[in-house]
Chain A
Amino acid sequence: MRRAPPLTDASRPATGLTIDFDGAELPAHPDDTVASALIAAGELMTSRSPKYRRPRGAYCLLGDCGTCLVRVDGQPNVRACLTPVRPGMRVASQNSYGDLDPSALIDAVFRGGIDHHHLVVHPRIVNKLMQDVARNLTGFGTLPDAAPARPAWREDHVPEVLVIGAGRSGRAAAAVLAAAGVDHLLLERRDRLALAADDPTPLPAQLRAGVGVFAAYPHEGLWAAAALDRPDDGHGSAPTLHLVRPRHVILALGAHVPTIPLPGNDLPGVLSARGLLHLLARTGRRTARPIVVIGDGPAAGAHAQALGATLVAPGEVLRIAGRRHVKAVVTRSGRIPCRLVALSPALAPASELAAQAGAALRWTGAGFAPVLDAEGRVQLRAEDHPLAGPPLEGRIHVHADAGTRPDAATGTRPDAATDARPDAATDTRPDAATDTRPDAPPPPAEALWTLWAAGELADLGLAPPASGRAVARAILRALGRPVPEDSHD
């Protein structure tokens, strides 16, 4: 359903590029993502939610929140916020019902909430009927139109340093490594346009954009990444799997934007301020007033100013109002009509990969961050005895036989002779060598890699670029390389 567009791009000429959304032709620009094109056209709703069938749309605009999923060229569940537009792209909403609004019926029947465990359990015949209906209402997209035209590629990498994330801290770290001639790989899930919007300076040569690291597998000694799956564009691009066996890993993953628990916080048109600002920088658009920023995070004031928005503290908000999309913010002092609401809460560091790799985590007040030493090295969790303490999740041991270190045949590292291993000093694993239980795991050998964190994921009291540079310099020290002066400090 169309409404007055909440974004303007008065200064840009039309390019004639169009995409199809649910059968309607929408104008777009070459630097748009699917999400920005939809929002610019006033199409804020991309799906209906699983239980309450409420209208949903993009929120974080940074690839994390999972509610901007649309069908793109026959592929279900594609993140609209990370997918660049292509001419003639066919985009479809998912789990939606056209102009029908089932949420009203559901709200009437389930005023309090739905506890799906106790929903219509009796009598048996009705229960079975309910289950059949639920099965058909559930699920998100439908089957893909076709299997990929070409089989996937696999690329293996054995860099000295893997930098995950090419935001401000990741790029700063990579720059220091590049200047020192250290072999490194920089992986970033967003595309080159997104990076250019962050920072217009030339992109580093070691960067692979559009590649998302999806896992750390310490027992197998590798990190795995996938080129973001794009529908076959007819040019024979094949999805690629990247397997990386690094000596050092810098996690420069940034942070997630949590939601703020307010009534109506799920309405289409409620976006993260951070994501909205990035979208505007990428596409050169501006917001059409009025916009409201709700937040009490450290950046809320700056966000409001940058967006030309009214700032409201979450404690002042009674609810975010609207039916299919945001219409107004109702506060204690009155009602503020608006086109968009941008949330600016305290951020949650993106610590999932760190946790997978064995990091000990600490609570930050809004999320979790890896525990670090003063130089940015990540501390690992201690082993748990299988019979005591919390459940088995969290046991980790990094050991050498699960993966091979590169030898002369598969790859060389220029300075192997001066390789310093600082791990022993910071190793927090208990000594399992004296464990003589017959079913004890093998004692952990030395770590395969050293894990570091930079930027918003770390908390070294430094701005992200300085944080990235500091960690890179610490790695140079660990590698026994000369450490340059930091001209920025």
Chain B
Amino acid sequence: MSPATGAPMGSPSQPLPPAVDVAIVGAGIMGLALAYHLAGVAPRLKIAVIERSYLVSGASGRNGGGLRMQWGDPGNVRLMMESIAECKGLAQELDINLWFRQGGYLFLARSEAGERRLIRNAELHAEVGAPTRLLSAAEAQAIVPQLAVDDLRLASFNPEDGVVFPWPFVWGYASQAVRRGVLLRTHTGVSRVEPLQDGYLLRLSSGETVQAQRVVNATGAWSHTLNRGLGITLPNQPHRHEILSSEPLKPFLDPLVVDLGSGLYCSQSTRGELVAGITLPDAADGSDTSLTLHSSLRFLAHISRTLTRLMPITAAMKVLRQWVGPYDVSPDGDAIVGPSPGHPGFIQVCGFTGHGFMMAPAVGRLLARWIADGTPHPMLTRWDPGRFAAGRQARHEDMIIG
């Protein structure tokens, strides 16, 4: 079945057959990267991706576009080295501009605990082969002259880390997946998934049904709800995160700056806007763990206070827009990937706790291979969804920001 004409990136009226081999629910970066790679390694599989809204409507369209290999867990470091290496030629592979710029990430430690983390990480990265180096306050200021460094104890810098513009990332995977024969249906929700003798039946919001041998849950912050319908209980939960952009200015900031203590991150996009977020203590009304997407003054005030202390010149810069996106938070900070407990044909690829976007290029490729030929990759098996019930929670990755 060919894609609807004039719809290189899927469509609300993309015809769907009564049955497919693999149904991927959710056309965020994870679902689309998976679809693209799966269609590449297993071209005979009938693959459908079903998305409840427009492309980039979820977390994939709302994040700051950062890509880093500066993690605390060696597996994550290696995974991200792969992802970043893949990004170098990805624009040409997907035939779309990604505005991938490797300006580096600069982590700032203003406390003793932070300093220890950066030293530990630098050692780890050296072992794994990531070019992270430690910098003094003066050296950090040489890279970012606008930084106030009086209370800066230590910084770490990796020049290969970078940023992209999130939207074309998604569109690129979407259009190339469609070109490879993936059926991409947008503006259609999956209301229920029912187990069959062999496979699953998906009931769509359009009234249609589609049978699938295997189903992939790539719905991120919405995965909790989709799982519950099948009686799968996994502990990941959505969490509201806020973000903003500033007025566009000529380029002055090369790296993405992260302040460890506050969880603030700030980078300058190709359009010239500062894009920034921060860790915020949860609001009293409990709205942060639901899927509400309202913006708050509390966020603006808190990030402004931190940002103006970190880079005093920003006190004179203007906010252009604030918005919100969901993190799909896993209790041990590690993703949830693989066959679901009790439902081996229902595959999870969620719980990325705010760093799914940057991992998608590598995860999509690895998971596609796993689904196509059945051989799991150790990088993914450590994210086994069964670990929670078995009491085997993963090492808590502590380099989580925003």
Contact = CB atoms under 8 A, between A and B. Distances in A.
Chain A in direct contact with chain B (Cβ < 8 angstroms): yes
B294 A219 contact: yes
Interface string B294-325: 11111000000000100011111110000000
B272 A139 contact: yes
A77 interface: yes
B270 A387 contact: no
B313 A146 contact: yes
Contacts of A313: none
A230 to B, nearest CB: 11
Contacts of A55: none
Given A144-B316, A386-B222, A439-B224, A395 B250 contact: no
A135 B270 CA distance: 5
A122 B191 CA distance: 42
B52 A387 contact: yes
A428 interface: no
A131 B101 contact: yes
Contacts of B271: 138-139
Interface in A215-240: 215, 217-220, 222, 224, 229
B286 interface: yes
A222 B252 CA distance: 35
B270 to A, nearest CB: 5
Contacts of A117: 96-97, 168, 171
Contacts of B285: 219, 399, 401-402, 442
B292 interface: yes
Contact residues of A: prevailing secondary structure: loop
Given A222-B297, A387-B225, A391-B53, A121 B95 contact: yes
A395 B294 contact: yes
B293 interface: yes
Nearest to B312: A147
Interface string A123-143: 110010001001110111111
Given A76-B247, A134-B270, A144-B313, A386 B97 contact: no
B191 to A, nearest CB: 8
A488 interface: no
A441 interface: yes
Nearest to A127: B91
- How large, as a class, is the contact surface on chain B? 35 or more
B97 A121 contact: yes
A390 interface: yes
Interface in A387-408: 387-388, 390-393, 395-396, 399, 401-402
A213 to B, nearest CB: 12
Contacts of B191: 387
B205 to A, nearest CB: 7
A393 B293 contact: yes
A116 B96 CA distance: 9
- How large, as a class, is the contact surface on chain A? 35 or more
Interface in B61-95: 88-89, 91-92, 95
Nearest to A78: B318
A118 interface: yes
A392 B91 CA distance: 30
B272 A147 contact: no
A64 to B, nearest CB: 15
Contacts of B317: 143-144
Contacts of B195: none
Interface of B: 52-54, 57, 88-89, 91-92, 95-97, 99-101, 146, 168, 171, 189, 191, 205, 222, 224-225, 247-252, 270-272, 283-287, 289-298, 308, 312-318
The 7 closest A-B pairs by CB, nearest first: A139-B272, A144-B316, A139-B250, A391-B53, A392-B293, A147-B315, A386-B291
30 contacts: A76-B247, A118-B97, A119-B97, A121-B91, A121-B96, A122-B95, A124-B88, A124-B89, A127-B97, A131-B101, A135-B251, A138-B248, A139-B249, A139-B251, A140-B250, A141-B247, A141-B249, A141-B250, A147-B315, A215-B297, A220-B296, A220-B298, A387-B52, A387-B189, A388-B205, A396-B294, A402-B285, A439-B225, A439-B290, A440-B290
